Structure 1
Amino acid sequence: MPEYLAPGVYVEEVSFRSKSIEGVPTSTTGFAGLTRFGPVQYAGGPSSTEPRLITSFTEFERVYGGLEPLQIAGDERVNYLAHAARAFFANGGQRLYVSRVFTDNNSPPTPDPASAHTASLQVTLSDGSKATWRARWPGAYGNALVDVRLSRSKNLAFKYSADPSDILNRASWGVQLQRVKNGSVIELIRPLPADLSTLPKSNDPLTESRLYVVSVDSNGQQRFYSSAGGPAAALPDDLGNMQVYLVEMAVQVYADNGRLDSYTELAAHPDQHRHIGKVLEADHPEDENAIVWLDWTPDLTTDPFAPARLMKALRDAPKRLAGGNDGTAVPGPASFEGADADPDHAEVKATGLKALGEIDDIAIVAMPDMSGFASDDLIIDAAGRLIAHAETARYRIAVVDGPKNSSITQIREFRGKFDSSYAALYHPWIEILDPLVPTAPGIPPRKLLLPPSGFVCGIYARSDIQRGVHKAPANEVVRGLTRFEANINKPRQDVLNPEGVNCLRFFEGRGSRVWGARTMSSDPEWKYVNVRRLFIYLEHSLDKATQWAVFEPNNDRLWKNIRQTIEDFLLVLWRDGALIGEKPEQAYFVRCDRSTMTQNDLDNGRMICLVGIAPSRPAEYVIFRVGQWTADAKA
């Protein structure tokens, strides 16, 4: 309560309206699976391993690599997750979180980064010390080519001229050196060659005897360290007989899919703003999608000339990183499920599906690699873990792929293993033209079979954006395919549909469509995908928007505010067509009063609100009854 302690005018803000509920997003999707590159937890690696939000397939390629197959244990494996991401965005998806899985035989990360399938390249400096280029993440994609080039600024040495018309030579030598910051590397060429055309070009090799590292103390005093040792207070002043260059680096990183990353104006001293170790560091590089980082920790107190040694060594060293690979075994279902974060060790982050569980926005989850396991038992195990994840998280639904090349009997047996309203099964697989193989005249194009989850998740998102979560994500066109793996006709769907297998079908003149919207539940109340997702949307929105009510006085004023808040939200849903009923009173009710709470509830701090809605269910069977009509018959 406000306090009024002295006479005066008091202006106070009060609210005369109920709180509002903002609906949560329903189209944000999460994938867990194998990729060629990207954030993943391994010992000695970067700490920022959380699933990355991706908003386009171009961004996916920069973060997680391209569509090229994975090479695991010497075997080529289709990069299902990358193709699923491509299909997701092609079919209308807009926001995708990716949790990369990379663990051999479900074992914990190895302690040595060099043995964690991470590419590296060691560079030896002239004093015998080492600097190492490392890929930020494990995978063969990290075997990049790193080209370090030099840039020499124009001559820093000028003769002083008292003639004010001599603009080019008005600056003195001292003024020029003040522009050179602490840690800069300069190259001094003295005496000048007779043929000035032989002066070094920008990327010519460095000669250590010509190099100096500038040191500036707190008083602005400059000293110049050379390879010979101790500092010099000044450089030679015969300006007419020498050239002085400021030397900087540029790094170009080439990946195997044509990607080129360029970083310019780099320095070699840690005090420099664009120190190469800061711009290209493990945890927080200038480019968060950088492929490589430089592992170098010099002792500049004992060797202040080290930055010049590093520049020369990086420029002259081999360029190709090596040792990166995609693993020696395919991770099992336990690795896809992942592990929770360790609350006692901040550096141990959640992995796999568990990492997606920490992201509140995700409403749809899938594991496109699930059906690529070698045995049916592993596929069933992985599907069970995916469904359990959706049920545990409560506010999301799992899109499950059936096994590849499944017959009607096999897909029915697979479906019979599960019973959950938080999952939906889609069949069959989808054939596309392989985007990695260009078409050529006279040569049949190469085809590729993909699990349907990537396409379906994109259709979920598209339907949500265009119509709303209450619209069943069915009778929607599937984009980016040549055909379905199997032809599902009406008699076959008559068998599959009642059992909760959502079929993908081709209709002449109407294209390829999703032709089912059922969950994997035996409970008729939760038979339809859109009904389950509507309740997920409503429950999650209420959960987030009513947190303000915790610890408020539990009385009639609070109950009325809660009722009005929820009724306002449900009225909008009814107007959007999510609820059935000619009047709002027929579509929903909200009760929060003495009829929903006993005195015991009040004594124990419980406020209970009862919300009932009448969700709209899809017109799965459209029936027209036609009969004969005679001219003199009365209606």
Structure 2
Amino acid sequence: MAVAVSYPGVYIEEFTPAPPIQGVATSIVAMLGPAPSGPILQPTLVTSWDQFKQVFGSQPLPGFYLWYAVQGFFQNSGQLLYVVRVSNAAAAAGVLTDLAGADTIQVHARRIGAAGNSIQVVASDVSALTNLPAFTNGPSIVSVTGTALTFASADDAVKFRPGDVVIVDGDPTHRANVLSINQATVTLSQPLPAAAAGQLLRLTDLVGGQDALVRFTDAATVSAYLTPGAYLEITDGVSTETVVVKTVAVETIMLSTSPPPLVTYRVTLTQPVHNNLSLASLNATTHEFKLVVSVGAAPPSETYNFLSMEPTSPRYYGLQVNGSSGMIQLSVASPPPPELPYQNLPQGQTVTLAAGADENLAGLTAGDYQDGLDSLLNVDVNVVTIPDAVGYADPMAATIQGALLDHCQGAPPHVGSRFAIFNSKLGDSITDVANRVQPLASFGGFGAMYYPWVLVPPAAPPPGSPPPAVGPPNLLVPPSGHIAGLFARTDNSRGVHKAPAGLQANLQGTIGVESVLTDIEQGLLNMSYGVNVIRVFRGSRPTVWGARTTALVAGNTNWLHVSTRRLFLFLEGSISEGIRFGVFEPNNIELWGKLKRAITAFLTRVWRDGALFGATPKDAFYVRIDDALNPPDQMALGILTIEIGVRPAYPAEFIVVRIGIWYGGSTITEG
């Protein structure tokens, strides 16, 4: 925007450059599997091994591997982990219907299992307040001087409050607002005719489509139930309608003639009343509901009275019940009921919860694991693994790992944004693992297979239990949890561009492998199938000695290496988030320049970190935004196209040393 100049001199105008692009996280991991406890199908963030044991159980489930995978993740310096407990247990549920017959409140047993099927919920209509009278103040005016009205006493005047809308009794045409009260004088927003002297001044009747304010008075118990969100049925004996309270102000008025103060309640409504209502005979009744919870024929164990359907109310059922009930949890029915207050209140009914089921781990299906993957769709994670997938016989094991691949690589038109870690099955031979990896071929390289299983110490016995005569043996577990921790450790120490393999890629917490492979055996798996082998070298613990994706078996060597795919996931995510400021900005040369500078600065930092190959930034990447990419017809459709080319630093997977005898000018080479 041009500076508005007037006098000769120097004018300062600040400009705002494009914000720098921040790198996104690369090692937030998600793991799925059965656990002894914890929320079901709810991604739960854990940041330590102790936290996991506290939430999901201090001991592993026999025959399952999630517990060991999480332990391996944190042993290898993993930091952020989402755990999804996979289970076929279900909480008993039921639904309350409203006065119009539509579903209004979903009821779930708080504890999962078939025991919830005996829970009964009885709903009934109740009213905390009935026939609450409107406040009708009507003292006689002594004199009128413009906008100032004088009354016989201060007690007559003080009953009016600023904001009241008043009229002279019998003359509804002259409405005025009370501005202030001083002793026996009330000042209005506009003058009343002098003939008003000797007449009664009172609060105005409610005019349909206009007024949304009314004052009530009653016992002190009113304040507990006349609250924001309350449903009021108001009537003057002629017209009746239901309104919703927006705000309530308690007004305490001290009178000289009566030691107990006069208490009124100034109520504003969410919208004006529909009908004309006479204040003289106006009264209100609240509408709430009551829930009684019991188990079978046992006496009621929980009772919740005067509940509201409005989330703004302190009596809202979600606050009153969910915060204290040990038996049920309530939520809005899906879809929410279409009825207006107070028709959305539950009708009188008795609901017995049903469909609760105990956990049957032997009956888990691939669909249960798919449900777990679906729960991650809106969670920000980078790496996903299911260590228990290979604990099942085929074809279920292959189906689960295939679902994991589909989840990570996405399906057109959605590009993949996650990386999958696959395991071989216990006992797989070289031929078996070669066959297992082929259905997991990912043309874009969104997954990697690791082989074989690793040997770990057994879980410590529960605290306080007597020590066994003979300690449990070490056991073999899938390596994916340890591998995920290695990913995080490598990312934090070197960067996502460093392949998670090599002499520094030892797996903490492991003491051996299922089978020791030779160089020849690894060469076959590495070159032909892209299987990453865990090796044991002299003097070291098991070490990851491979960094290939399953793109090799898909025939695409562009995404051959784990580090290349994960680097591009990092670049794509960071740039996508970092240039969001440009959405809906004018598509002009200025915006092109901002975007190009922001992306160039970011990629330069990535190059300096060693992730891109080239002696200079120009050798390592380019950013192109020009007319050829953005012709007028595309710009008219709101499309801005940016082309970015980067040259990743590939891992030195094979180091070839040429050595020979040198005679000071000639060379003899062996080879």
User: Could you tell me the TM-score, scaled by structure 1's length?
Assistant: 0.61
Does the aligned pair in 2 maintain the 1:68–1:436 contact within 8 Å? no
* 1:426 alignment partner, one of 445, 450, 458: 450
Distance verdict in 2 for CA 1:324–1:432, change over 3 Å = farther
Distance 2:498 2:536 in 1: 21
Distance 2:38 2:586 in 1: 49
Match of 1:596 in 2: 629
Amino acid at match of 2:546: G
Match of 1:52 in 2: 44
Larger proportion of strand: 2
Distance 1:396 1:122 in 2: 43
Match of 2:571 in 1: 538
* 1:520 alignment partner, one of 535, 545, 550: 550
Unaligned 5+ segments in structure 1 are 42-49, 70-76, 124-128, 130-215, 221-267, 272-277, 286-291, 298-322, 339-351
Task: Give, in angstroms, the shift of residue 281 of structure 1.
Answer: 9.2
Tell me if 1:461 matches 2:488.
Answer: yes
Mapping of 1:129-208 within 5 angstroms?
A: none
Match of 2:398 in 1: 380
Task: Give, in angstroms, the shift of residue 585 of structure 1.
Answer: 0.6
* 2:78 alignment partner, one of 86, 93, 103: 93
Tell me if 1:412 matches 2:438.
Answer: no
* 1:586 alignment partner, one of 612, 619, 624: 619
Task: Give, in angstroms, the shift of residue 551 of structure 1.
Answer: 1.1
Distance 1:548 1:542 in 2: 11
Task: Give, in angstroms, the shift of residue 630 of structure 1.
Answer: 2.9
The secondary structure found in structure 1 opposite 2:592 is: helix
Task: Specify the structure having the higher radius of gyration (Cα).
Answer: 2
Tell me if 1:358 matches 2:378.
Answer: yes
Distance verdict in 2 for CA 1:119–1:572, change over 3 Å = farther
Distance 1:282 1:27 in 2: 39
The secondary structure found in structure 1 opposite 2:79 is: coil
Does the aligned pair in 2 maintain the 1:400–1:424 contact within 8 Å? yes
Amino acid at match of 2:523: D
Match of 1:494 in 2: 523
Amino acid at match of 1:517: A
Task: Give, in angstroms, the shift of residue 35 of structure 1.
Answer: 1.4
Does the aligned pair in 2 maintain the 1:34–1:79 contact within 8 Å? yes
Distance verdict in 2 for CA 1:631–1:609, change over 3 Å = closer
The secondary structure found in structure 2 opposite 1:559 is: helix
Mapping of 1:111-126 within 5 angstroms?
A: 113=109, 116-117=112-113
The secondary structure found in structure 2 opposite 1:628 is: strand
Distance verdict in 2 for CA 1:631–1:561, change over 3 Å = closer
Task: Give, in angstroms, the shift of residue 404 of structure 1.
Answer: 1.5
* 1:485 alignment partner, one of 514, 521, 526: 514
Amino acid at match of 2:88: T
Task: Give, in angstroms, the shift of residue 3 of structure 1.
Answer: 11
Tell me if 1:507 matches 2:525.
Answer: no
Aligned Cα RMSD in Å?
A: 4.0
Distance 1:85 1:282 in 2: 35
Match of 1:81 in 2: 66
The secondary structure found in structure 1 opposite 2:566 is: helix
Tell me if 1:64 matches 2:94.
Answer: no
The secondary structure found in structure 1 opposite 2:590 is: helix
Amino acid at match of 1:627: G
Task: Give, in angstroms, the shift of residue 435 of structure 1.
Answer: 1.3
User: Could you tell me the TM-score, scaled by structure 2's length?
Assistant: 0.58
Distance verdict in 2 for CA 1:441–1:31, change over 3 Å = closer
The secondary structure found in structure 1 opposite 2:326 is: strand
Distance 1:296 1:543 in 2: 39
Unaligned 5+ segments in structure 2 are 95-107, 123-218, 224-302, 307-316, 331-355
Match of 1:34 in 2: 34
How high is the sequence identity, in percent, across the aligned residues?
32
Match of 2:422 in 1: 400
Q: Give the total of aligned pairs.
A: 433
The secondary structure found in structure 1 opposite 2:439 is: coil
Does the aligned pair in 2 maintain the 1:33–1:99 contact within 8 Å? yes
Cα deviation 1:441-474 (Å, max 9, x = unaligned): 9835422221111000000011001100000001
Does the aligned pair in 1 maintain the 2:26–2:491 contact within 8 Å? yes
Distance verdict in 2 for CA 1:219–1:12, change over 3 Å = farther
Distance 1:337 1:414 in 2: 20
Distance verdict in 2 for CA 1:584–1:269, change over 3 Å = same
Distance 1:385 1:563 in 2: 38
Cα deviation 1:211-255 (Å, max 9, x = unaligned): xxxxx96599xxxxxxxxxxxxxxxxxxxxxxxxxxxxxxxxxxx
Does the aligned pair in 2 maintain the 1:415–1:520 contact within 8 Å? yes
Task: Give, in angstroms, the shift of residue 14 of structure 1.
Answer: 3.9
Cα deviation 1:66-120 (Å, max 9, x = unaligned): 2332xxxxxxx4231122111101111000011222126xx99876749952667
Tell me if 1:470 matches 2:497.
Answer: yes
Task: Give, in angstroms, the shift of residue 483 of structure 1.
Answer: 1.0
Cα deviation 1:536-565 (Å, max 9, x = unaligned): 000011111111111111111111111000
Match of 2:336 in 1: none
Distance 2:117 2:537 in 1: 55
The secondary structure found in structure 2 opposite 1:560 is: helix
Amino acid at match of 1:532: R
The secondary structure found in structure 2 opposite 1:336 is: helix
Amino acid at match of 2:75: A
Match of 1:449 in 2: 476
Does the aligned pair in 2 maintain the 1:280–1:294 contact within 8 Å? no
